[in-house]
Amino acid sequence: MSMVHRVAIKIVWTKNPWIDRWEWPPVYPTLVQLEGYKQWCKDRVGTNGWNYYGYYRKVPCEFRFKRSEDLVAFKLTFGL
């Protein structure tokens, strides 16, 4: 069974009203938030039930789970 259930943390783009365009770079989740997500996964899901893929991927900040129940619990806990 592979890590087929996944969720990507949203990247927030901010719009500058003075120049009427989107700001670069986008706002990623803070490191404190990501560490909180990881700690929750370590405590609730276990060591082999989840994976985290970071900033330097095509889809940044992605969590993958083995079981769909863990994905649902993750989404409900953090409101994603």
pLDDT tens for 23-66 read 555 556 677 788 888 899 999 888 888 988 877 766 678 889 99
Residues 75, 1: Cα–Cα separation, whole Å: 21
Supply the pLDDT for residue 9: 76
pTM given for the model: 0.69
Supply the pLDDT for residue 48: 87
Kindly tell me if the per-residue pLDDT of 77 is higher than 70: yes
Domain ranges, ordered by start, for the chain: 1-6+29-80
Kindly tell me if the per-residue pLDDT of 3 is higher than 70: no
The dihedral sign for the CA sequence 14, 20, 21, 23 = negative
Kindly tell me if the per-residue pLDDT of 12 is higher than 70: no
| Cα atoms found within 13 Å of the Cα of residue 49, Cβ hemisphere only | 15
